[in-house]
Structure 1
């Protein structure tokens, strides 16, 4: 938090350390009452929640905001005027919870009867409202429940998906035209993704893309006919359970077949398929010399060239044609009404083709393409990010790995990639491209991977030096930021995710300098104080925080001389800040430990009265999946807050090998070998933590959810003796059981990497669980990590006569929502309390 009074301390560093260790904290509220611990009930209290600020840009200076009373107001960022746009009474008429605007802003589609399907997909009802007549004009032809609804960018035509088929309305009053007729549950899905595309590729409930004016509409068709189904019981409340069946391609099995079509909305009976480039169809491979031919059109010439190079007698060189038909559709980006770019990915996900298609008046043809291959792992952080077309609408900007293995912005023209940014830091994503600038989020500031800021690069500038737009804004509170920019980036909402930051260690080589700052100082004073003390632990650099540093949302001016001006505070979470003054809150500690030659970032949540001379139980909160990031300068208010505040437990997380945003060398270290380094690094970090002197080595636990549950289980099953107990929620047991797109991205097919698949199972480590206490939790209706995984772990533990605890949540999916989630945290809390009881 920023304070107006700034005082520079004139004390020596050693005195500061003594003060921190020997003077216990006294907790009083403003009323004089003693502060109380943050309890588990507080964690589930809806009034103790961080607030965000919903905003939808209507233009370059106007935005909509739905207030707490349900009214939607139109704001003008330039004039600061606002007026009622949609009343809560209109929402109530159709019991709506959300809304969508037509391209011409003359109509609003109110969404109601939300019915969840999977993580992103759902069905809902839509009521069309005429803004000029202030009345509902929903056509009778619009089904009561649809699977997807989308207005065009211009006018008021819209498309929707019903019963897995796409329908197009040229305007609100027109009769719908059915674009597809072959849709069928679990077989053919038009305009909406199947399970694996929704979960692993699009992270969306739709697969429809309008051209810039709505002249054309692109849609994907997903064919699951050959995809094997996973089945599980839904117990419900009837006499007999029903069986849920979902097409789910597991590692090594048949993938979803995808096709991409384009429809002329003025003549919707005409469909054109955009086929993947020829290079995605198949390749001739020299099976005796391990070479793959690069072309498919003149392969005879290449065959002769290879044969002459390796075998003049032409009798030892054998060629085979390998089909690459298992392509993956990544993204669709329109440049104009008659030009579209599509990213196609191979099944191995180490080769991507950006194909640009043009409409020649009668058909769509491939104009040019750009190909990218990774030699060290997979493409992108998870998937290739969408491209951004330049002014000429042919060249484009793309985030991809540079020659040093860091993700940076590149300018692609005529098949050549030119880096726009560079350095040992990473671009997370491009936020917006305007006619004169690129806006992007990165961790460039201080080359610190746990920070994020918004940057701007002027196009045509040489050298292209990024300018940070958020680095100096509320620096005492905001070091993990993003932004939502208006149409032409004249204004933006700055999204600051908060940070606990008042006590700082900053390392310099092997020495550490330490600074203590009073509650009246900002980080500017920290930089000025220059109070040094020798580092007690040469392997770490640390940042402590005393909070609260809650999320902050502000409206920023980005125009000319006014650029960087804060126009208003949209949400500062002041109410929550006042509430939290009544609690004994933990402090945060950040730093790095040297593991396998890398500086690995960690964070610790320390109890309110933390003293280095004491010994504390430690809980490792782990995820550790490929490209994950658990450590960041974001405000943490979670289950760990309760554990630290009420139970005196230190809760720590570590980003080891395999984690993201620090370069491909770290991220790709676990390529084709999941369950190795990311698990080892958690255990190595624990050993480092023990050496800090304040960890009770006999009271250490680990827990995780999903991939984190897998890593926790693998660490517990390693038999190191480091952990006394652990918890796994919805863990993977064996990668053969998980979906093909995710698993093969990191492991390849089981047939091509059998040893790694065999060595990466929790099941094979079952006998080592006799040495630890283990709690296994899973939902029986988990469509993501199937209950099969926990069942197999349970079976293996029983076979080894391991005494363990388990809890199954009936008809609950991967996230265990509702009372089941509350019950889960109560159960885990009790388990940890039993685990950490001092020996009698």
Structure 2
């Protein structure tokens, strides 16, 4: 995981991910606990009143309504999804010849059935599976997930799912034939399955070995590997590759015709183990359960990963013999029936190599492209897109699309042959292409992509033709603010356009090849809208009853840097209800920070969550600042933090706090900073650097406190190794306890079961405070919770505690406790 907290993303304010809101409290369970113990009185309401500490000053701004009678935002209506926009799932799928004959096939759920539909042909319908469960033998099994075969005749069903790490699971897998209405069991306790393009073979991983299952023969036909163990993984990633490299549970890739299967063989024998104790898994446990995890901390041995290719016809495995065992293989892409590209970097992401492998020639490889990061780094991406040869469309060789820095900004390039080292530059300018090419139209040669061309806080859809470089065509309406997501049908004729803000989100299906356009422009300016998938009319109705605190996007000038250049950063502020700028020294300021390299929090997306609760319930100004080191403002802006994490990021938060402290309506004694994960680290580094001058309070959740303790793949990309950069690691560590002691007070929160940012970080930090005699802090520990802090109702409690703690700070409750 890239140091993003799932716990905060639940009600995140313009962050990088969006997930469902916090789950509703199980009131019946709470009442049972009360009846059993009979000693605790818990006050809960359904109207947004959060837990109140005893013996505290009168509440500030805690009225449930504004002056004009509108309801204020509270946890109650955030948690019951009052403000959650509906985003309809639509899974595009590929049918036979779908790249040239694109009927816009997708899977949806209708009347308790999984059905294949077509956006092009409203009469087309094919039922894959009916119901949510099925009977196998004497067992009634629940369908947890389903994967359609490429020919749409069969589906793989997973049931009895057990969660492993962030992306990985174990489960029982079955094949269901839609024509024969029969089930085949592949096996139990399987971790990964992948359909072959031929719709006959299925590759799967059991006990870290790789197998082939044949649907035709209804049995496992081949055991590809036999060395799988607790130390060796075949076809699936280990912990660090799952979290930081592949960001998924699979490490295998079928060739386009299904003749070859490439896969990773990962050996983590030399990786050190880290123990994680679990204390409350079972009520009758008196000794904690200790789970060992292979976790490479910065500077320690990484897993050794080899790329292998299995030839199905010859039934043999070939090793791509890359000499250096210390490299990171970050992506694999088949570029034709027999060749693949492997994206390879050195351990510290300074050098990128594109390795071209020929499976037909015993995995012989060459390296047509090597690029250096200069003063930056190569971020791990999975955005390279294969462009097949088609002489009728002036594509004379197999090529690919990629994103590389052009004049300091990330832009699209086209390698017309995989053997080439110099590409055609498709886009250029002081803006960036985001997440690589979104789609390639095999008929028109158009490349679709999302970019920050209008504003780094927005995402609009554009296109460029590979034979007409630098001629950019707008697809979405850039005359209006907009942040769009897109997914495309298999042939890129149709797109699901999802508008995510700043206004209420909507979704629509567009035919990009239609000669007609919309009569009324709404979202897109190219293509014909076939229909709206979602308009969120119910949400619009809800919003009429509430006073949503006003949000303003801005670019802050934080002064000049060492070179005399102005420091311009993206920011937004949320003003509380009934805001009155004529009040003197009245409003507290609640900064929310993340600040990780290449990240972004200030984005024009619709969200009503924790930040709005703070503004409404605490009568506070909420401020979010994307300082130097964050993404989408060019390479120089983000790469400044290389080898020196925590310095510039903290400086920029302090500079922003200084600006707000000068505002007449701000109470400069009540400025706080909150962050989770990297944001928790940023909070502590900012308090350390500021030494109580501007930030009086801080709330740090699940922070890294010493980069020697975090995983190697993430840390070394930005810091190199501790052996190479000892001074940088010493400086980046949260280490000045005396300076932290100058703040009025801060809060530290962590889960003991955090497999990502280990609880060790907070324990070592607390030990430092003890040694230095620093006592101006509070601590809350969540037993067995991981990085998202949600075990045993923890996610509700942690946000209640954050809000209440900030409230006490702003009301001066901690001042009387000073000693």
Q: TM-score, normalised by structure 2?
A: 0.83
Alpha carbons of 1:33 and 1:661: their partners in 2 closer, same or farther (altered >3 Å)?
closer
Q: CA deviation at 1:695?
A: 2.5
Offset from partner CA, 1:782-818 (integer Å, 9 cap, x none): 1100000011111112222322111111111001125
Instruction: Tell me the secondary structure at the aligned position of residue 188 of structure 2.
Output: coil
Alpha carbons of 1:90 and 1:232: their partners in 2 closer, same or farther (altered >3 Å)?
closer
Alpha carbons of 1:421 and 1:467: their partners in 2 closer, same or farther (altered >3 Å)?
same
Check whether the contact 2:599–2:631 (CA below 8 A) recurs between aligned residues: yes
Correspondence 1:172-251 to 2 at 5 A: 172-176=216-220, 177-185=222-230, 187-235=231-279, 236-237=281-282, 238-251=285-298
Deviates more, 1:583-592 or 1:605-614: 605-614
Q: CA deviation at 1:27?
A: 11
How far apart, in 2, do the equivalents of 1:745 and 1:41 lie? 41
Deviates more, 1:486-495 or 1:56-65: 56-65
Alpha carbons of 1:692 and 1:449: their partners in 2 closer, same or farther (altered >3 Å)?
farther
- Do structure 1's residue 805 and structure 2's residue 807 form an aligned pair? no
Deviates more, 1:720-729 or 1:190-199: 720-729
Alpha carbons of 1:92 and 1:585: their partners in 2 closer, same or farther (altered >3 Å)?
farther
Check whether the contact 2:595–2:679 (CA below 8 A) recurs between aligned residues: yes
Aligned to 1:589: 552
Offset from partner CA, 1:317-346 (integer Å, 9 cap, x none): xxxxxxx54100011100112111111111
Instruction: Tell me the secondary structure at the aligned position of residue 763 of structure 1.
Output: coil
Of the three residues 169, 190, 194, the one matched with 1:146 is 190
How far apart, in 1, do the equivalents of 2:577 and 2:473 lie? 38
Check whether the contact 1:193–1:222 (CA below 8 A) recurs between aligned residues: yes
Aligned to 1:377: 376
- Do structure 1's residue 578 and structure 2's residue 624 form an aligned pair? no
Instruction: Tell me the secondary structure at the aligned position of residue 379 of structure 1.
Output: coil
Aligned to 1:535: none
- Do structure 1's residue 439 and structure 2's residue 439 form an aligned pair? no
How far apart, in 2, do the equivalents of 1:641 and 1:88 lie? 42
Of the three residues 256, 277, 299, the one matched with 2:303 is 256
Alpha carbons of 1:637 and 1:28: their partners in 2 closer, same or farther (altered >3 Å)?
closer
Aligned to 1:38: 73
Aligned to 1:449: 456
Alpha carbons of 1:628 and 1:160: their partners in 2 closer, same or farther (altered >3 Å)?
same
How far apart, in 2, do the equivalents of 1:731 and 1:28 lie? 36
Alpha carbons of 1:115 and 1:769: their partners in 2 closer, same or farther (altered >3 Å)?
farther
How far apart, in 2, do the equivalents of 1:490 and 1:746 lie? 39
Of the three residues 633, 636, 640, the one matched with 1:662 is 633
Correspondence 1:80-479 to 2 at 5 A: 80-81=122-123, 83=125, 85-86=127-128, 88-89=130-131, 91=133, 93=135, 94-135=141-182, 137-139=183-185, 142-176=186-220, 177-185=222-230, 187-235=231-279, 236-237=281-282, 238-268=285-315, 270-276=316-322, 281=323, 324-360=324-360, 363-380=362-379, 382-383=380-381, 385-389=383-387, 391=389, 392-402=396-406, 404-412=407-415, 413=417, 414-428=420-434, 429-435=436-442, 436-446=444-454, 448-461=455-468, 463-472=469-478, 479=482
Q: CA deviation at 1:131?
A: 0.4
How far apart, in 2, do the equivalents of 1:117 and 1:260 lie? 24
Offset from partner CA, 1:673-695 (integer Å, 9 cap, x none): 00110111111111123334432
Alpha carbons of 1:799 and 1:123: their partners in 2 closer, same or farther (altered >3 Å)?
same
Alpha carbons of 1:748 and 1:27: their partners in 2 closer, same or farther (altered >3 Å)?
closer
Check whether the contact 2:353–2:367 (CA below 8 A) recurs between aligned residues: no
Gapped runs of 5+ residues in structure 2?
1-62, 95-101, 136-140, 390-395, 517-525
Check whether the contact 1:704–1:728 (CA below 8 A) recurs between aligned residues: yes
Gapped runs of 5+ residues in structure 1?
1-25, 282-323, 500-548
Correspondence 1:592-607 to 2 at 5 A: 592-595=555-558, 596=561, 597-607=566-576
Offset from partner CA, 1:521-541 (integer Å, 9 cap, x none): xxxxxxxxxxxxxxxxxxxxx
How far apart, in 1, do the equivalents of 2:411 and 2:336 lie? 26
Correspondence 1:433-832 to 2 at 5 A: 433-435=440-442, 436-446=444-454, 448-461=455-468, 463-472=469-478, 479-499=482-502, 549-562=503-516, 563-595=526-558, 596=561, 597-614=566-583, 615-718=586-689, 719-765=691-737, 767-803=739-775, 804-818=777-791, 819-832=793-806
Alpha carbons of 1:802 and 1:350: their partners in 2 closer, same or farther (altered >3 Å)?
same
Q: CA deviation at 1:438?
A: 4.1
Q: CA deviation at 1:766?
A: 5.3
Q: CA deviation at 1:64?
A: 3.1
Q: CA deviation at 1:704?
A: 0.5
How far apart, in 1, do the equivalents of 2:343 and 2:578 lie? 53
How far apart, in 2, do the equivalents of 1:624 and 1:765 lie? 22
Alpha carbons of 1:383 and 1:76: their partners in 2 closer, same or farther (altered >3 Å)?
closer
How far apart, in 1, do the equivalents of 2:463 and 2:191 lie? 38
How far apart, in 2, do the equivalents of 1:173 and 1:335 lie? 30
Q: TM-score, normalised by structure 1?
A: 0.81
Offset from partner CA, 1:419-471 (integer Å, 9 cap, x none): 2110000011211123333434343432x10011111112212x531112113
Alpha carbons of 1:98 and 1:359: their partners in 2 closer, same or farther (altered >3 Å)?
closer
Check whether the contact 1:767–1:797 (CA below 8 A) recurs between aligned residues: no
Instruction: Tell me the secondary structure at the aligned position of residue 640 of structure 2.
Output: helix
Deviates more, 1:707-716 or 1:105-114: 105-114
Largest Rg, 1 or 2: 1
Check whether the contact 1:54–1:65 (CA below 8 A) recurs between aligned residues: no
